[in-house]
Amino acid sequence: MKLYFAPLEGVTDPVFRRLHHRFFGGADKYYTPFFSPTSDGRIPPRDMRGLDPAANVGITVVPQLLTRRSEDFLWAAKALAGLDYGEVNLNLGCPSGTVTAKGKGSGALGDREGLERLLDGIFAQAPCAVSVKTRLGRNAPEEFPALLELFNRYPICELTVHCRVGADFYRRPARPAWLGYALRESRNPVCCNGDLTTAARFWAFREAYPEAEAFMLGRGAVADPALFRRLRGGEGAGREELKSYTEALFEEYCAAFGNARAALGRMKEIWFYQICLFEDTGRLEKDLRKAAETTEYRTLVERIFAQCPLRAEGAEPVW
């Protein structure tokens, strides 16, 4: 069984990846939030900080690229191969309106000819293994069979299928039956993604589709950082372990950003998910969202760990 940590913009950066791996582990790969290569042929310093191998020592990391131009994908893939990355991922799944309006992410799925040109160009000269993350289509899941027929023409090292369409964003229920279709019909290895947010959901899916071998989890693994470990038969997160992990995140973000308020903003992004691991948070959750000072934040976190029980079965998603 292969377990991958999905990319979440504003969350799964090098600090998060390093500390998650140190405290909990269990993920075979961490996919980076995407960067968009442009025709200037250079990786911006902000993106390079996250892609620098020195920032990811001891962790298997897969860079993700967002583009509709094969030329831009190829120069970036060559640069990343030069940094000893053996795999690069093409993002055909992002549902953001600002992305899809440019024909990128899941927006590319609605332009069959453009998508074919993109894939032709990439696989004609790919300098390393290329994986693809896709949705079922741009507007309707019935688009997926034709998309899969197209993907089957290329030597994709792994096809991650998020079982929603672009128009769903993350709001509408996932459609796991389409993952079963992908597992049956894909000529390339398939990684399953979409609402596998708890151990119970994961095992229910595995029971329905025992042929599945690879899985990508994102929000559920931010909410419950021990989720991968639990899925491998290990223990859930202990209170002191989780407290130490949360404190380490805040301290390293303060050092990385050089700004405690910026670190506070990042921790709020993580707590948006992680709060679901606790019961009876009530007013503390609301106050944590509003916290503007680091002393207030620290006090509220102390109270959450002191007063709120951990959910025995792991996080209960409410997003």
Tell me if residue 12 falls in helix, strand or coil: coil
24 within some domain: no
Per-residue pLDDT at 84 exceeds 90? yes
Q: How far apart are CA 241 and CA 23, in angstroms?
A: 8
78 and 161, same domain (yes or no): yes
Q: Please name the residues in contact with 189: beta carbons below 8 A apart, sequence gap of 6 or more.
A: 157, 158, 159, 213, 214
Give me the amino acid identity at 53: P
What is the per-residue pLDDT across 269-302, written as a single tens digit (0 to 9) for each?
A: 999 999 999 999 999 999 999 999 999 999 999 9
Q: How far apart are CA 260 and CA 157, in angstroms?
A: 41
DSSP 210-250: TT--EEEE-HHHHHSTTHHHHHTT-----HHHHHHHHHHHH
Between vectors from CA 108 to CA 104 and to CA 109, what angle results, nearest 5°?
145
What is the per-residue pLDDT across 227-257, written as a single tens digit (0 to 9) for each?
A: 999 999 999 999 999 999 999 999 999 999 9
Rounded to two decimals, the pTM is: 0.96
* Domains of the chain: total: 2
152 within some domain: yes
Helix axis angle for 260-274 and 282-290, nearest 10°, is: 150
Tally of helices (H runs) and strands (E runs) in the chain: 14, 9
2 within some domain: no
20 within some domain: no
Which of 169, 195, 221 terminates a domain? The answer is: 195
| Averaged pLDDT score across all residues of the chain | 96
137 within some domain: yes
What is the per-residue pLDDT across 143-191, written as a single tens digit (0 to 9) for each?
A: 999 999 999 999 999 999 999 999 999 988 999 999 999 999 999 999 9
Of 118, 92, 122, give the one whose Cα is nearest residue 105: 92
19 within some domain: no
83 and 148, same domain (yes or no): yes
Give me the amino acid identity at 130: V
What is the per-residue pLDDT across 205-224, written as a single tens digit (0 to 9) for each?
A: 999 999 999 999 999 999 99
- How many Cβ atoms sit within 10 Å of the Cβ of residue 62? 21
Q: What is the pLDDT of residue 318?
A: 82
191 and 122, same domain (yes or no): yes
72 and 161, same domain (yes or no): yes
250 within some domain: yes
Note the residue count of the chain. 319
141 and 63, same domain (yes or no): yes
Which of 195, 229, 250 terminates a domain? The answer is: 195
Computed on alpha carbons and rounded to an integer, the radius of gyration of the chain in Å comes to 20
For residues 65, 206, 173 and 273, what is the CA-based torsion angle, rounded to 10 degrees? -70
Domain range enclosing 243? 239-307
